Amino acid sequence: MSPRQLLGRIGLWFSVFIIVSPAILFFLWMISLSLKYEIDNAAYPPVFIPEQFAWKNYADVLASNRFLTYFVNSLVVTGSATLLAMLVGVPAGYGIARMAAHKSAIVILIARITPGLSYLIPLFLLFQWLGLLGTLVPQIIIHLVVTVPIVIWIMIGYFETTPLELEEAARIDGATRWQVFRHVALPIARPGLAVAFILAVIFSWNNFVFGIVLAGRETRTLPVAVYNMISFDQLSWGPLAAAALLVTFPVLLLTVFAQRQIVAGLTAGAVKGG
Amino acid sequence: MSTITETTPAAAEASAAPEQQWHRPTYWPFVLPALIVVLAVIVFPWLFTIWMSFNEWKVGSPTTFVGFANYLRLPNDPRFVEAVGHTIFYTALSVILPLIFGTLAAVVFHQRFAGRGFLRGVFIMPMMATPVAIALVWTMMFHPQLGVLNYLLSLVGLPPQLWVFNPATVIPSLVLVETWQWTPLVMLIVLGGLAAIPTEPYESAEIDGASFWQMFRYITLPLIMPFLFIAGMIRMIDAVKSFDIIFAITQGGPGSASETINLYLYSVAFVYYDLGYGSAIAVVFFLLIVLLAAVLLYLRKRMLWTEIGGGA
């Protein structure tokens, strides 16, 4: 390796270090906050690695604050909204792709662009009128606003690129449209299904704005529950940071393990305008 | 729906007439369930919001039709006018900064180095993490006495800041969070653009003795321009309607110094329960964003054309 190449190599590693450090340092600091007793969190200059780890913060969060209830709420809302979206969105993506009905995608695009709050006023009134406000149903339904467009959008992209020849061959063999979809198109589009599923889960899990309006004490999802902790526990940083980390942990785990799918989905969606 | 009007270009695509028979209308059963869902949770709210914006409607009192009165209130509402200003300031910064940093990051991630995939995964974590959870930690970091940011400033000899607690610095501080969070998306889009650039121009430029900066300025930048444009558009749409971060960190404060249109909409509709006026704000806000969407859609068409052209 020539000196110039070596210099380039060092420069590259230095740039990589600079670029990823805001993300790494932030999450390390988050972990640090969550593992410190109040005395360490209130110290100046700040303590990065405490002498004693406050595992108790996590134990407290898991034991109190109905964390388990809120976790189950999140699981139910995200799970139902994602599964329903897959159920209606995957065939729709297929239909739109095969009909080459690109203009119908405008609806999806506008849905992606409309601020979530705009849906809340009418749906809030509707749910109130239907007497559903104390249950998880309103949140499941309104999360469809997030998940259905993602699924349809990504599936259109995948079905557009799958080859038609196989489907035509199956059709000549006498398969019905449904059989062609079920046994030919769907298996080929499996990577697309994974991408759509993962992104729908993440964006539904992270959603906050729908919950602050629609959730009651018993029906909060985790992001809303954590937000409510802020107002009450302004001064206990340790348990707060622990709760924040627990809320976002499943998503971070998914990001690391399904990094390729997420990148594929986001860039496809982005380049195609969603 | 609009799909029906699509038959003419579609017919050109289909090779034979019976083919077309089989293809077009018969796919409706696939689309129907989604169509019902979309009509119920997306189209119905749009229409209902428009209708409500012409009514005086406060929770608990009867509805009265007031025509355009709600819309005429907007220009005379100082809080709304201020919110528009805050939104523009917030959006402009939240587009420009991620574009700059995202492009630089993409140039770096375009190089080959060990652990690139893993580090890219780490790099995109801020945008996938739950916004409220992140906002909570940033709030602690912004703390004027105990926050780690002021400590970091003191290390390089800078005076401590009030960050989100000072009306003059609250928006730039929030933009710092937004930039940290969304630079990865710009990076991914630009990275996609860089992957599409052939190597020949660089080879001949290297022979001609061009510097790294010259190659970036005269080869890379023009070729990734369409991608930058799209990244900018997406960023603009997301920044305009940014809610979680602002709400969780400042709730629009101090005072109303960081109150954007979206935050104000929330207050009007769900704090004051002035649903008619809130709907009018929602419609105006929506139109503003649809205007941006129209531009985006136009760009999508262009991107699709180049994709098809590149593939064939």
Residue B93 and residue B22 share a domain: no
- Residues B86-101 have a mean pLDDT of 94
SS (H, E, C) B233-249: HHHHHHHHCCCHHHHHH
Three-state DSSP state, A45:
coil
Among A38, A248, A272, most B C-beta atoms within 10 A, so best to mutate, is: A248
Of B30, B37, B105, the CB nearest to A19: B105
Average pLDDT over residues A241-253: 93
Residue A264: alpha-carbon gap to chain centroid: 15
Final residue of a structural domain among B50, B70, B90: B70
Facing residue for A206 by CB, picked from B130, B136, B139: B130
Residue contact A16–B279, C-beta within 8 A? no
Supply the pLDDT for residue B204.
Answer: 87
Residue B129 lies in a domain: yes
Is the distance from CB of B261 to CB of B285 less than 8 angstroms? yes
Using the predicted structure, report yes or no on whether residue B310 has a pLDDT greater than 50: no
Tell me whether residues A94 and B134 touch, CB distance under 8 A: no
Nearest CA in chain B to A199: B128
Compare CB distances from B297 to A96, A144, A273 and report the shortest one's residue. Answer: A273
Lowest average pLDDT, out of B194-203, B270-279, B291-300, goes to B291-300
- The per-residue pLDDT for range B140-159, each reduced to its tens digit, is 999 888 889 999 999 998 98
Q: Shortest CB distance from B266 goes to which of A100, A117, A171?
A: A117
Residues B245, B259 within the same domain: yes
pLDDT over 60 (residue A233)? no
Mean pLDDT of A116-141: 89
| Structure token digits, residue A105 | 């995608």
Instruction: Please indicate whether residue B66 or residue B131 has the higher confidence score (pLDDT).
Output: B131
Q: Does A272 touch chain B (CB under 8 A)?
A: yes
- Residue contact A117–B282, C-beta within 8 A: yes
From chain B, pick out residues whose CB is under 8 angstroms from the CB of A216. none
Any domain includes B79 = yes
Q: How far is CA A147 from the centre of its chain?
A: 9
CA dist., res. B148 & res. B202, Å (int): 43
d(CA B25, CA B15): 16
Contact A99 B24 (CB under 8 A): yes
Residue B59 has pLDDT above 90, yes or no: no
**Which residues of chain A from 56 to 115 reach within 8 Å of chain B, CB to CB?**
84, 87-89, 91-92, 94-96, 98-104, 106-111, 113-115
Residue B243 lies in a domain: yes
Residue A45 Cα, gap to closest chain B Cα (Å)? 7
How far off is chain B from A114, nearest CA to CA, in Å? 6
| Contacts A–B by Cβ distance under 8 A | 298
The residue of B20, B108, B263 whose CB has the most chain A CBs within 10 angstroms, and thus the best one to mutate to test that interface, is B108
CA distance A89 to chain B (A): 6
B154 and B247 belong to one structural domain: yes
Please tell me the distance in Å from B36's CA to the nearest CA on chain A: 9
Position A9 confidence tier, pLDDT thresholds 50, 70, 90: confident
Taking 50 as the threshold, does the pLDDT of residue B21 lie above it?
Answer: no
With CB atoms and an 8 Å threshold, state whether A270 touches B230: yes
User: What's the pLDDT tens digit per position in A182-221?
Assistant: 998 899 888 899 999 999 999 999 999 999 989 888 899 9
Nearest residue of B to residue A120, measured between CA atoms: B45
pLDDT band (50, 70, 90) for residue B14? very low
Domain count, chain B: 2
Q: Does A152 touch chain B (CB under 8 A)?
A: yes
| B162 and B250 together in one domain | yes
Is a pLDDT exceeding 90 seen at residue B135?
yes
Please indicate, yes or no, whether residues B122 and B77 belong to a single structural domain of this protein. Answer: yes
Whether residues B169 and B212 share a domain: the answer is yes
At residue B160, the pLDDT reads 87
Task: Quickly state the pLDDT bin for B3 (edges 50, 70, 90).
Answer: very low
pLDDT bucket at B9, cuts 50 / 70 / 90? very low
User: For residue B222, what pLDDT is reported?
Assistant: 84
- Residue B143 forms part of a structural domain: yes
Look up residue A220 and give its amino acid: R
pLDDT at site B305: 56
Three-state SS for chain B is CCCHHHHHHHHHHCCCHHHHHHHCHHHHHHHHHHHHHHHHHHHHHHHHHHHHCCEECECCCCCEECCCHHHHHHHHCHHHHHHHHHHHHHHHHHHHHHHHHHHHHHHHHCCCCCCHHHHHHHHCHHHHCCHHHHHHHHHHHHCCCCCHHHHHHHHCCCCCCCHHHCCCCHHHHHHHHHHHHHHHHHHHHHHHHHHCCCCHHHHHHHHCCCCHHHHHHHHHHHHHHHHHHHHHHHHHHHHHCCCHHHHHHCCCCCCCCCCCHHHHHHHHHHCCCEHHHHHHHHHHHHHHHHHHHHHHHHHHHHHHHHHHHHHC
Shared domain check, B61 and B79 = no
Nearest Cα residue to B276 out of B98, B71, B100: B71
Assigned domain for B13 exists? no
Q: Which residue has the higher pLDDT, B197 or B131?
A: B131
Separation of alpha carbons A89 and A91, rounded Å: 6
Residue B1 lies in a domain: no
Residues of B in contact with A16 (CB under 8 A): 108, 113, 119
Domain end position, chosen among B35, B52, B70: B70
pLDDT value, residue B299:
67
A49 part of contact set with chain B, CB < 8 Å: no
Q: Give the model's pLDDT for residue B8.
A: 42
| CATH code assigned at B191 | 1.10.3720.10
A144-184 pLDDT tens trace:
998 999 899 889 888 888 888 888 888 888 888 888 899 98
Nearest chain B residue to A43 by CA: give it: B146
- Residue numbers of the domain that contains B290: 71-302
Residues B112 and B212 in one domain: yes
B62 and B110 housed in the same domain? no
Task: Say what the pLDDT of residue A161 is.
Answer: 83
Q: Are residues B57 and B86 in the same domain?
A: no
Considering CB atoms only, which of A20, A96, A223 is closest to B123? A20
B66 and B77 housed in the same domain: no
Contact assignment for A244 to B262 by CB distance below 8 Å: no
Q: What's the whole-number average pLDDT of chain A?
A: 87
**Domain match, B33 and B22 both:** yes
Confirm or reject contact between A33 and chain B (CB < 8 A): yes
Q: Residue A102 pLDDT > 90, yes or no?
A: no
pLDDT for the residue numbered A88: 95
Question: pLDDT tens for residues B189-230?
Answer: 999 889 888 888 888 888 888 888 888 888 888 888 888 888
Taking CB atoms and an 8 Å cutoff, what residues of chain A touch B6? Answer: 99-104
Q: What band does B303 get if pLDDT is binned at 50, 70 and 90?
A: low
Nearest Cα of chain B lies from the Cα of A98 at a distance, in angstroms, of 7
State the smallest CA–CA distance between residue B299 and chain A in angstroms.
8
- Tell me if B307 is assigned to some domain: no
End residue of a domain, out of B70, B92, B111:
B70
With CB atoms and an 8 Å threshold, state whether B1 touches A33.
no
Indicate the pLDDT class of residue B311, thresholds 50, 70 and 90: very low
Q: Is residue B8 part of a domain?
A: no
What pTM does this model have?
A: 0.87
Confidence at A269, pLDDT banded by 50, 70, 90: low
Chain A segment 13-32 residues within 8 A of B by beta carbon are 13, 15-16, 19-20, 22-24, 26-27, 29-30
